[in-house]
Amino acid sequence: MEAIKDALAATKVSTRNVRVHDLGKIDFKSAWDLQEELVQELVDIKVLNREKPADEQIIPEHHLLLCEHYPVITLGKNGSMKNLLLSQDALNDKQISFFKINRGGDITYHGPGQLVGYPILDLDYFFTDIGKYLRLIEETIILTLKDYGIEAGRSAGETGVWLEPQSPSRARKICAIGIRCTRWITMHGFAFNVNTNLDHFNFIIPCGIGNKQVTSLQKELGREVDLAEVNAKVKKHFAELFDVVYV
Q: Looking at residue 244, what is its pLDDT?
A: 96
The answer to whether the CB of 163 falls within 8 A of the CB of 215 is: yes
The yes-or-no verdict on residue 182 having pLDDT over 60 is yes
Going along the chain from its start, the domains and CATH numbers come out as: 2-238 (3.30.930.10)
Work out the average pLDDT over 30-36: 97
* Residue range 148-164, pLDDT digits in tens: 999 999 998 889 999 99
| pTM beyond 0.85 | yes
Strands (E), 60-171: 62-69, 72-75, 97-100, 107-110, 114-120, 153-155, 158-163
The DSSP line for 175-230 is EEEEEEEETTEEEEEEEEESS--GGGGGGB-GGG-TTSEE--HHHHHTS---HHHH
Q: What is the largest CA-CA distance in the chain?
A: 59
Instruction: List, as one string, the DSSP characters of 2-26.
Output: HHHHHHHHHTT--S-EEEEEEEEEE
Under 8 Å between Cβ of 18 and 246: yes
**pLDDT of 210-223, one tens digit each?**
667 999 999 999 99
Query: 192-212, pLDDT tens digit by residue?
Result: 999 999 999 888 776 666 667
What is the overall mean pLDDT for the chain? Answer: 91
207 is catalytic: yes
Confidence at 8, pLDDT banded by 50, 70, 90: very low
Q: Is 199 exposed, middle or buried, given 0-12, 13-18 or 19+ CB atoms closer than 10 A?
A: exposed
Identify the CA nearest to 96 among candidates 30, 33, 28.
Answer: 28
Q: CA torsion 63→64→67→71, rounded to 10°? A: 80
| pLDDT in the model for residue 81 | 84
